[in-house]
Chains A and B, each alone.
Chain A
């Protein structure tokens, strides 16, 4: 909607989209490096710019069932990772049993996973250092 310019970041180290070099995040907003995505290592970031978010999906991950939105580069459209949206409320359990991984982690309030809410995962292989 409307025209807007891509945001630019500054910091000691800036990560950008591997195909179009759009700024995405700086090292200052990185929270953890200990994640894994489909392409290998991935980092958890606090704030990411110049991305478009997709629709929320439920996805199974090693840490459990999560609702995530895929994020795409705003210029070239490449998939970059995902964003943690929230957790399944206890009243809405998925009907398909394939998703049922065990009771404890599907609950609405999972304290150990709550820190991820609203944060972004960017796959390391899809990032480049930008100057």
Chain B
């Protein structure tokens, strides 16, 4: 019916081109409401187009319907060839039909009809329209008949489609309380269709339902008046060839694919995916200047090498571990502008007998764990006091990881022990002797796995080791300690995977989707060192990242950015390296730290444009995107400013950094107000 309705003529163009042009033309479809107001325009254009309308009106327009004798038919534009443009691959018919579908979906019915008239393509043939209407009006018999004519691929699929129709019919009859008819349907239509008997039993049991609400709930069906018919239509479309009946919202699907593709090409993409940065007019590309590349703060309180650091889960605090036997909790107001921000040491946790190797925040940030040699200490982060000191390990504790539910934590050490503790420091469980001396471990966020890396060697005593001993380990000076990745199942504590790796493995991190593990590897000889991205599901290396240097020291890396799209790592050449995770391209190599290794990098979990790095030069640097109010285009080496610690007022000396030479201004320890120091 839509096709035969004569609607407004299309004003092909108001300019006085003489012919309706083939090619991209704008169809000005005005809605019915404007009929009266365009009377004037009618008169004008009528006389114009009348002279040009072809003698044979399309089936779309016929004289009837309108009183105005000046209603013209919409001229069908016939174009040569079948592609959209002369040199494109897009088939014109497909394209136009998709546009018609989109216009109809949005609500521009008149435009859609005009387009159909002008192009001669119909979005769907009358049979399909009939079928659609029958389903939505629950005219089952005719729906079935229409289905037969739609060209379903083979008989079996035809049966399945019919079954779905009959099922909906049955459910609607039950809902309307026409039990006998429903029974009739069940017996004569559903049963002979040879379906799964369980399904049939389930359907027949629905007859026991006393009222429609119960029926709806038990069947998981939302009633004849709900969306079930539309959903049925959607399901039935799977059986009908898509050229006959176009899948719903097809154009939008294609555009979504384009968006995903552009996003995958955008290397610096660091924005949440539903932001307004995507436009159809231009390809999406994130600005490199929105990426953290510039040091905005240098924290210089430690008196010796800083070995490790970790952000609190709220993103407001940073804990650092240092060789000077202290750990410091810094307060970082990450959501303020760098020039007015206050970064200061909140607590200095002394009282460690040895250099501090690891720090770990509890999930609610109330407890900080620190490890020094074989001691583990629990600190209350509000008061800065040590709550407990745990001494269960016999050798260096190299890794601390909280469980994703915060109920406890796991510690692993070079003494081959992995121990599970309660949140208050009671030993809950010991995982026994691990075959490796653990150098790092982490728990996957989905709570299923524990990934541990470490040195593997057969202890000289032999028995009591759970893993199969390797031969060839008895080399003279013990230099070829093989390293392994072991993935344990968290619940059963059984090792799932042993992966022997060449070279020394120094750190492991797991992505947020629990699927990938990032492992730093220092090779034995002068081979280039790599960071491996292991896919835990398929148990292979998914990607390697090259460029940094690592041979003797423990260097750590981390995921970063929105969705963990970046990989950042420290390195022994004082440069922070950042790669794009999916493609492996090196995005940034950021110099600036003083001589010595950059030991660890940590990305702020609440601010995707900020990360921190710590180094042997006793400092921690905060890196951010270049502030936009800086003159000119900021360069990483020239314009890094630091936020000076204020005792609430005034800045002290601020200094420009030129090429990474530290000029010794430290944050005023004694003069800071408002921060309690131990």
Residues of A within 8 A of B (CB): 1-14, 23, 25-26, 28-29, 46-47, 49, 131
Distance A10 CA – B470 CA, assembled complex (angstroms): 12
A2 adjacent to B597 (CB under 8 Å): yes
Query: How near does chain B come to A90, taking the closest CB pair, in angstroms?
Result: 33
- In the complex, whether B46 has a CB less than 8 A from a CB of chain A is no
Q: Which residues of B contact A2 (CB under 8 A)?
A: 305, 307, 552-555, 572, 596-597, 599, 616
- In the complex, whether B476 has a CB less than 8 A from a CB of chain A is yes
B477 adjacent to A49 (CB under 8 Å): yes
B552 adjacent to A4 (CB under 8 Å): yes
- In the complex, whether B632 has a CB less than 8 A from a CB of chain A is no
B323 adjacent to A10 (CB under 8 Å): no
- In the complex, whether B298 has a CB less than 8 A from a CB of chain A is no
Distance A71 CA – B21 CA, assembled complex (angstroms): 92
Given A2-B596, A3-B357, A10-B458: A26 and B478 interface contact (C-beta under 8 Å): yes
B481 adjacent to A5 (CB under 8 Å): no
Q: Which residues of A contact B458 (CB under 8 A)?
A: 10
Distance A29 CA – B476 CA, assembled complex (angstroms): 6
A5 adjacent to B554 (CB under 8 Å): yes
Chain B contacts with A in 592-616, Cβ cutoff 8 A? 596-597, 599, 616
Query: How near does chain B come to A79, taking the closest CB pair, in angstroms?
Result: 20
Given A10-B478, A49-B478: A4 and B554 interface contact (C-beta under 8 Å): yes
Query: How near does chain B come to A27, taking the closest CB pair, in angstroms?
Result: 10
Chain B contacts with A in 426-462, Cβ cutoff 8 A? 437, 439, 455, 457-461
Distance A13 CA – B461 CA, assembled complex (angstroms): 10
A1 adjacent to B476 (CB under 8 Å): no
A1 adjacent to B305 (CB under 8 Å): yes
Given A10-B458, A14-B460: A3 and B553 interface contact (C-beta under 8 Å): yes
User: Out of B323, B414, B479, B597, which one reaches A5, CB within 8 Å?
Assistant: B414
Query: How near does chain B come to A117, taking the closest CB pair, in angstroms?
Result: 17
B616 adjacent to A1 (CB under 8 Å): yes
Indicate the member of A5, A9, A131 with the most B CB atoms within 10 Å: A5
Q: Which residues of A contact B323 (CB under 8 A)?
A: 3
User: Out of B307, B461, B481, which one reaches A3, CB within 8 Å?
Assistant: B307
User: Out of B308, B414, B555, which one reaches A8, CB within 8 Å?
Assistant: B414
- In the complex, whether B62 has a CB less than 8 A from a CB of chain A is no
B616 adjacent to A46 (CB under 8 Å): no
Q: Quick one: closest B residue to A23, CB to CB?
A: B478
A3 adjacent to B478 (CB under 8 Å): no
User: Out of A3, A10, A13, A28, which one reaches B457, CB within 8 Å?
Assistant: A10
A1 adjacent to B461 (CB under 8 Å): no
B478 adjacent to A11 (CB under 8 Å): yes
Q: Quick one: closest A residue to B355, CB to CB?
A: A3
Distance A3 CA – B616 CA, assembled complex (angstroms): 9
- In the complex, whether B370 has a CB less than 8 A from a CB of chain A is no
A1 adjacent to B553 (CB under 8 Å): yes
Given A10-B473, A131-B461: A5 and B478 interface contact (C-beta under 8 Å): no
Q: Quick one: closest A residue to B437, CB to CB?
A: A8
B477 adjacent to A29 (CB under 8 Å): yes
Distance A109 CA – B349 CA, assembled complex (angstroms): 55
Query: How near does chain A come to B472, taking the closest CB pair, in angstroms?
Result: 11
Per-residue 0/1 for B291-305: is the Cβ within 8 Å of any A Cβ (1 yes, 0 no)?
Answer: 000000000000001
Q: Which residues of A contact B599 (CB under 8 A)?
A: 2-3
Query: How near does chain B come to A5, taking the closest CB pair, in angstroms?
Result: 6
Can you list 11 A-B pairs with a CB-CB distance of less than 8 A?
A: A1-B596, A3-B305, A3-B323, A4-B553, A5-B396, A7-B481, A8-B414, A8-B457, A11-B460, A26-B477, A49-B477
Q: Which residues of B contact A10 (CB under 8 A)?
A: 457-460, 473-474, 478, 481
Task: With A2-B596, A10-B459 given, name 13 new contacts (CB 8 A).
Answer: A1-B553, A2-B307, A2-B554, A2-B616, A5-B398, A5-B439, A5-B554, A7-B478, A9-B477, A10-B457, A11-B474, A25-B477, A28-B476
Distance A25 CA – B479 CA, assembled complex (angstroms): 11
Query: How near does chain A come to B615, taking the closest CB pair, in angstroms?
Result: 9
Given A2-B553, A2-B572, A3-B553: A46 and B414 interface contact (C-beta under 8 Å): no
Q: Which residues of B contact A3 (CB under 8 A)?
A: 305, 307-308, 323, 355, 357, 553-554, 599
Q: Which residues of A contact B477 (CB under 8 A)?
A: 9, 25-26, 28-29, 46-47, 49
Indicate the member of A1, A29, A46 with the most B CB atoms within 10 Å: A1
